Structure 1
């Protein structure tokens, strides 16, 4: 069943539109063949768009055999998020969650429910998150298309809400290969109420435009003959009728109906009557009808024009008449062709506008106010009530602002920020000095317009006269500054507010105040640690703090950040691990991202990579379940660095490439650096430094040199690529910049960005041993304080590279021993290579060959193709034998292909893999086609065997973790 009846306009004979039906038939055929189509039917009001849609969508029409969802938008619903979507999907009754509804909502489609249910509080949603709902609706449409080709036909699209239009754009961008036809009907004489959303949709997808022109004199004559089958119309009547109506079908229909009702035929008398009416036929005929009716009929007509389709008792209440009188009035309006014959609604927006033009603006505002009160009294949702309030010139009464605030909350739960903003803007206008309103508005805008969100938070901070309110605002402001890369401002505000809050609360605050204080402190640590200019002050403040027990969310967030800052000092790996484990304790409460990610970083630096990966897996699992793409991408990028530390190059490449793919097309992706950096490091290890530099060239973040974390990793990736390309001096220059920047930031952890190790090795290769020893000595001091096997192994490796002769060999043997006990498998292979080369130089080729052979084997298992080739070349030079190092079929896979292959090999269907990666089934299918071709397999079982063999050879203790769980 579809809702085309509910959306149908006035019953106009379809005349002169056969060519348009043929065009729609061709587009429907293309859609059935898997070539998604979009058609925009446009023309002035009353030109017959609705009639054309009905003819195209009815059984036996061009869309026969397709699933047809047909809805109409209304002006009164324009402010309600996803109202257009509900007009389309409403008849499916998906909120029942049983039978077919449950099947359609399987998998990620369950995230569509916030957009579909009357009260989004009934759905499992994350307030403020837009992607989950968009993605859920996409999968709902995909589930429908799994059965039959799908038609989404939206009438009066100029009244459509912005969020529904954004979803149509989201769907069409991912519709490649899907049997989908989208048809929008819009008025050309009315600007879209959704602002640029409709214009952008049309611009992005370049649909077929199907303009409807006025009817010709011949078509008008045909309409007249149908209206007066017993009379032969005179040519003069047809000419006058065409001239007065301009060939507009709605005006023609209304005028012909009025002539029949008054007993006037299509002759000279009728022509004179048409001339008397003149232009604005619809308004003239509507006024003529209402002027001849009792007052109660006019009041019911106005009530119906304001409320739209409603129960008769509600219309009666608004009109101030009895139910019986309301029913009689509706019958009168039906006979006058102002109301549909099969439902209680005006036949057209032009008729509705004509009815409302019979009241003054003040009277109309009073009528809409009473309508809002009535809807409130009968228990309608805040969004429905707010639809009336938005049409008022002012909505400043307390009950009105309360309704608007509730409506904003519903819109946020739906993931419809545009609607929430519209409601909150009206509240802000009514309550200009309320900081909490600006805070809520800023929260809604944080995703779509973070710059304006920041402005609102600044205003809220200035308006807040209570230190606790200022603290709450400051936390939001600081995290927003972090998002828009203005952390110094956020750190300054948080620091000032924290000092004031501490002075206000004293030494023994109440539990709620203590939690607020901890929240502000933890936010300051998060924000202040972002840039080099604010990091020293934050580190000083952190040094004065006593680590909290970690019993509350704010305490765990603070503890996690203290853990990272402790690790940055590079003084005690054991203390960092203890703090990280305490931050990851969860006594009955879920852990937040800002607890899990910092703790995972500290654990990884301290060689506890298993625990670090467990924490990251939790973030990935939770963010995938909530369809939180930004968090998912961040966690993937972080996990890529852990894999790099372990020597899991292939897995690092898969995570980094997948994260980078998720960034594409997203606003927040513009400032990304971590996926590119991790991918570049992996590519260099694979022997593709040119590609690595090309990836780094895509980093677009302005002022990247100001950032404490991303900048140094970016420099290391750039230096290693330059070194691999033979540009030694450029690589050394970059490493020196990295070291100076780290020192200036106070970051002393030896394994975070081990520039000194790379510099020592590179300087030693160039014969500059004194400089190499200076770099090694610098790192040895740092490594001794940190004390992990990896750090001490790095120090020994640097000393060994910088020291010729037996002393150097002894240091390299120590490096091999220490790194073999660490997670750093690729660095273990590197130490074996250097040890073999040193032994060869000292005249011990047999012993050298053993270490070089081990270096080749370990480097190959890690995916370090360049290192394996270098070790093999040294082995052959030492008299050993080994075949050329060739790239395995698995190494030919791109990072994303590796991820897809792992997901499919784990038993996931194509659809499940697509849901896991937030892509389309078509994308997974294309990747699989490439994977099968590269690996020379034809079955999923064969793919699983290939990956299983690779996992068995992998040195990664978390083999298989490239599959998001």
Structure 2
């Protein structure tokens, strides 16, 4: 295989011109041909081919080649052509054109071909010598073939001369020529995508294509589509190698310009890039031609000149001293800032630059960080903030940026984030009080390790007034979620007062009382006090979050939901991903309590996006997984619930409140799967953990009633009654109607006598509460009991109510149970009746859900809240449904929906 012939692929026209020039010498016809193009486009190969053709015809061939190292050597190329015998010094006796007369004289006897490669590197004396030769060519059997990279010329293209000059500009190889090259080098044709990739990666550059294909073939690869990634990698390396060779011998101004282009050529026009050079070149056009002649550059947008890829840029910069490179990036960033380049590009320059010491740099890096966060590129956001901290900053600015960075590091480097939080906590000075409180708040929202807790304890003795109150509240809040008898920090921190005035301590104290199930009214008042606005202390996240959770346990679910919405809006304004995930999870749990499994699904999915499952702190991960399990169960996705329950526990969860949540959720999965023995073990284990922490409130985790249910299924009726009555006593002590109602439901499930009476009492209590999930569960149990007793007339309105509650979520577990009970009553299950009009099938899923809710008596605003849409959307969907169903309004829709459900329209 003749690899040396590769650069001549696609050069048929050029070879024909050169062949005519060589053939004309035999008839004493002179010729001048120039070959120009980017370096590596085949100029030298064509000159060698023409020289070989002339030698085969018996013609004399003289060769010369310009080099970067000889641009200052007078008559360097002339010496190669006529030899050192002639005196070629500028002041020699031979005059300004040494050896020229002798060359012309001897050519009369033997026609001569001169090939001069790399004319762009000729010294001025050699160039003038060749120009003098061209002027004397008429009548002389001499042909001059000159090759150059870039627009180098033997004579002025615009000036008339004694002999026409044939100028050939070499172009990149087209797709067909690349395919021919692939077949030649690889020993066979390449597949279509492979050949297209070769053309794209090399941009039709013959020398790069040749070397890349040779390396590819030498490695034993075949030109098939599956090898495209390997071909691209090899081509990138070859391109970089060509760049390294092209840099050798370049004059210093050209090297400096290439380095500047490597840094910012993609961003700035070439004249602006030249302002980075010291000294600035006088002839920018000439410098541009020199750079284009290297074959390393390509035209960009407008007047820009750029390097082709990251590998080439890296090679151009790699031999530059680190300090000079960092300085070049800094000057380029400042120039880009003045040129109003976008923040992301300026930040990219600053990431490799020395500190510039100007405010605009920090602003640009922070804006680039925000853009990266919006694009979910957290690694780049962290890099921008890390670089911003290298700039000169005052203490408050540095603390604020460190807080943002530590909050971002929760996924990429959580331990580094904890150490950063700890450093802020130990930073002295009253001006950093707000930063210290915020650091403790965000660190504990992530979970906080011993480094953070120790730093928090160290900060307390020197804290003042409101800061001390806030840090004390946060410390004890962190302790509430764990139990460690060996902790040596507890005696150093003062206990919370019984009736604190501090907003942060009010929220934490409310949560403490709620966990213990003590004094509901005081708990509610303290929880509301957590939202009193008292500066930085009142803006802390965790005390307000646990205050919201306390309000959930006091049955103030609507208020808690509004407060959580506010908290979520706050945390989403910053980079606190762990905090956002925690708030979303709490809101998901609240939505479950309200019977809104759709909203709960939305929130737990958003929490997973904010902080993927594997990045939760071990103290919070079990709680988050428990909520996801409960959402999956309530939504009817038992397979998802089982897979989540089967995941291994985090190491630190065994003795924490969050661990109890997870055990409880696993117990419910076991009950749903018909494994009561395992369920009892899991639920009692959850109870032991909570009892160890002294958290007795059944409104938090009703483990006793659920364990009683499993015991009842096993026939352990005495134990079931003991557990259910214990829960009822604790619920009555707490006093929240939903907790009492749920406990009554537990008793009704466990007792043999008075079962129906207990269930009716549970329904009565729960009907007046916002705990829709518990109310739905109680209705299901009561309908089952009434049907078991044969009281169908009493069960009918209860089934109607149950269907109304579950109609919006037909795939949920309660909806499935409701349909089964409707079938027992002798009525068709939801949306499966044979009396459904054919037009109902024409409704979209959204229209069907909206029409069902409207037909069951919900107003437009309630429907909008249920489906998380606007009231205008509800109106449009109903209008579409009326049109498709050919009905006039809500009255007919109500009759239609009720008839499909098997209900008389008078049943309310």
**2:286 corresponding residue in structure 1:** 332
**2:497 corresponding residue in structure 1:** 544
- Supply the distance in 2 between the matched residues of 1:582 and 1:225 (Cα, whole angstroms): 91
- Supply the distance in 2 between the matched residues of 1:667 and 1:687 (Cα, whole angstroms): 25
Match of 2:666 among 712, 718, 725: 718
Cα pair distance change 1:289/1:751, threshold 3 Å: closer
Deviation for aligned residue 1:604? 1.8
Mapping for residues 732-811 of structure 1, pairs under 5 Å: 732-805=680-753, 811=758
- Tell whether the 8 Å contact from 1:478 to 1:524 is kept in structure 2 after alignment: no
Mapping for residues 828-907 of structure 1, pairs under 5 Å: 828=775, 830-831=777-778, 845=789, 848-849=791-792, 852-863=795-806, 882-883=825-826, 886=829, 888=831
Deviation for aligned residue 1:742? 1.0
**1:963 corresponding residue in structure 2:** 868
The question of 1:817 aligning with 2:764 is answered yes
- Tell whether the 8 Å contact from 2:425 to 2:459 is kept in structure 1 after alignment: no
Deviation for aligned residue 1:351? 11
Cα pair distance change 1:410/1:354, threshold 3 Å: same
Q: Secondary structure at the residue paired with 2:865?
A: coil
**1:75 corresponding residue in structure 2:** none
Q: Residue by residue, what CA displacement relative to the aligned partner does 1:510-561 show, whole Å, maximum 9, x if unpaired? A: xxxx3x33443344355444434499998996642653364xxxx4xx5433
- Tell whether the 8 Å contact from 1:407 to 1:420 is kept in structure 2 after alignment: no
Cα pair distance change 1:474/1:724, threshold 3 Å: same
Match of 2:33 among 231, 235, 238: 231
Mapping for residues 681-696 of structure 1, pairs under 5 Å: 681-682=630-631, 684=633, 689=638, 692-696=641-645
Q: Residue by residue, what CA displacement relative to the aligned partner does 1:745-768 show, whole Å, maximum 9, x if unpaired? A: 222222111111222334345443
- Supply the distance in 1 between the matched residues of 2:64 and 2:481 (Cα, whole angstroms): 69
- Tell whether the 8 Å contact from 2:803 to 2:815 is kept in structure 1 after alignment: yes
Q: Secondary structure at the residue paired with 1:460?
A: helix
Cα pair distance change 1:372/1:282, threshold 3 Å: closer
- TM-score where L is the length of structure 1: 0.54
Q: Residue by residue, what CA displacement relative to the aligned partner does 1:42-101 show, whole Å, maximum 9, x if unpaired? A: xxxxxxxxxxxxxxxxxxxxxxxxxxxxxxxxxxxxxxxxxxxxxxxxxxxxxxxxxxxx
The question of 1:216 aligning with 2:2 is answered no
**1:343 corresponding residue in structure 2:** 303
Q: Residue by residue, what CA displacement relative to the aligned partner does 1:20-50 show, whole Å, maximum 9, x if unpaired? A: xxxxxxxxxxxxxxxxxxxxxxxxxxxxxxx
Deviation for aligned residue 1:743? 0.6
Deviation for aligned residue 1:873? 8.2
Q: Residue by residue, what CA displacement relative to the aligned partner does 1:153-187 show, whole Å, maximum 9, x if unpaired? A: xxxxxxxxxxxxxxxxxxxxxxxxxxxxxxxxxxx
**1:495 corresponding residue in structure 2:** 457
Q: Secondary structure at the residue paired with 2:462?
A: helix
**1:66 corresponding residue in structure 2:** none
**2:657 corresponding residue in structure 1:** 708
- Tell whether the 8 Å contact from 1:607 to 1:822 is kept in structure 2 after alignment: yes
Mapping for residues 461-480 of structure 1, pairs under 5 Å: 464=427, 472=435, 476=439, 479-480=442-443
Q: Residue by residue, what CA displacement relative to the aligned partner does 1:570-608 show, whole Å, maximum 9, x if unpaired? A: 112222222333334569999775465433322221112
- Tell whether the 8 Å contact from 1:696 to 1:718 is kept in structure 2 after alignment: yes
Deviation for aligned residue 1:629? 7.6
The question of 1:451 aligning with 2:414 is answered yes
Cα pair distance change 1:949/1:696, threshold 3 Å: farther
Cα pair distance change 1:238/1:530, threshold 3 Å: farther
- Supply the distance in 2 between the matched residues of 1:685 and 1:726 (Cα, whole angstroms): 16
Cα pair distance change 1:885/1:959, threshold 3 Å: farther
- Supply the distance in 2 between the matched residues of 1:836 and 1:547 (Cα, whole angstroms): 47
- Tell whether the 8 Å contact from 1:529 to 1:535 is kept in structure 2 after alignment: no
Q: Which has the larger radius of gyration?
A: 2
Q: Secondary structure at the residue paired with 1:805?
A: coil
- Supply the distance in 2 between the matched residues of 1:428 and 1:579 (Cα, whole angstroms): 40
- Supply the distance in 1 between the matched residues of 2:360 and 2:48 (Cα, whole angstroms): 53
Deviation for aligned residue 1:487? 4.1
- Tell whether the 8 Å contact from 1:445 to 1:452 is kept in structure 2 after alignment: no
- Supply the distance in 1 between the matched residues of 2:410 and 2:51 (Cα, whole angstroms): 54
Cα pair distance change 1:476/1:622, threshold 3 Å: closer
- Supply the distance in 2 between the matched residues of 1:454 and 1:272 (Cα, whole angstroms): 57
Deviation for aligned residue 1:729? 1.5
- Supply the distance in 1 between the matched residues of 2:745 and 2:260 (Cα, whole angstroms): 84
Q: Residue by residue, what CA displacement relative to the aligned partner does 1:372-420 show, whole Å, maximum 9, x if unpaired? A: 888899999999888777667xx47xx6497865664444344376567
- Tell whether the 8 Å contact from 2:357 to 2:392 is kept in structure 1 after alignment: no
- Supply the distance in 2 between the matched residues of 1:241 and 1:706 (Cα, whole angstroms): 87
- Supply the distance in 1 between the matched residues of 2:567 and 2:449 (Cα, whole angstroms): 24
With a CA cutoff of 8 Å and minimum separation of 6, indicate the structure with the bigger relative contact order. Answer: 1
Mapping for residues 606-625 of structure 1, pairs under 5 Å: 606-619=554-567
- Tell whether the 8 Å contact from 2:262 to 2:307 is kept in structure 1 after alignment: no
- Tell whether the 8 Å contact from 2:441 to 2:542 is kept in structure 1 after alignment: no
- Tell whether the 8 Å contact from 1:772 to 1:802 is kept in structure 2 after alignment: yes
Cα pair distance change 1:223/1:726, threshold 3 Å: same
Deviation for aligned residue 1:366? 7.4
- TM-score where L is the length of structure 2: 0.56
Deviation for aligned residue 1:443? 2.5
- Tell whether the 8 Å contact from 2:533 to 2:539 is kept in structure 1 after alignment: yes
**1:578 corresponding residue in structure 2:** 525
Cα pair distance change 1:530/1:306, threshold 3 Å: same
Mapping for residues 29-108 of structure 1, pairs under 5 Å: none
- Supply the distance in 1 between the matched residues of 2:759 and 2:11 (Cα, whole angstroms): 99
**1:49 corresponding residue in structure 2:** none
Deviation for aligned residue 1:787? 0.6
Deviation for aligned residue 1:497? 2.1
Q: Secondary structure at the residue paired with 2:33?
A: coil
Could you tell me which runs of 5 or more consecutive residues in structure 2 were left unpaired when the two chains were aligned. 22-31, 36-43, 53-62, 66-115, 135-141, 151-206, 212-240, 871-908
- Once the two structures are overlaid, the 10-residue window that deviates more, 562-571 or 227-236, is 227-236
**2:369 corresponding residue in structure 1:** 412
Cα pair distance change 1:694/1:934, threshold 3 Å: farther
Cα pair distance change 1:948/1:401, threshold 3 Å: same
The question of 1:531 aligning with 2:482 is answered yes
Deviation for aligned residue 1:736? 0.8
Cα pair distance change 1:476/1:330, threshold 3 Å: same
Could you tell me which runs of 5 or more consecutive residues in structure 1 were left unpaired when the two chains were aligned. 1-212, 246-252, 891-932
- Supply the distance in 1 between the matched residues of 2:773 and 2:445 (Cα, whole angstroms): 34
Deviation for aligned residue 1:951? 6.8
Deviation for aligned residue 1:491? 3.1
Q: Secondary structure at the residue paired with 1:231?
A: strand
- Tell whether the 8 Å contact from 1:683 to 1:689 is kept in structure 2 after alignment: yes
Deviation for aligned residue 1:364? 7.4
- Supply the distance in 1 between the matched residues of 2:572 and 2:48 (Cα, whole angstroms): 64
- Supply the distance in 2 between the matched residues of 1:414 and 1:518 (Cα, whole angstroms): 36
The question of 1:569 aligning with 2:516 is answered yes
**1:196 corresponding residue in structure 2:** none
- Tell whether the 8 Å contact from 1:826 to 1:862 is kept in structure 2 after alignment: no
- Tell whether the 8 Å contact from 1:240 to 1:271 is kept in structure 2 after alignment: no
- Tell whether the 8 Å contact from 2:519 to 2:734 is kept in structure 1 after alignment: yes
- Once the two structures are overlaid, the 10-residue window that deviates more, 430-439 or 525-534, is 430-439
Q: Secondary structure at the residue paired with 1:960?
A: helix
- Supply the distance in 2 between the matched residues of 1:358 and 1:634 (Cα, whole angstroms): 49
- Supply the distance in 2 between the matched residues of 1:525 and 1:642 (Cα, whole angstroms): 24
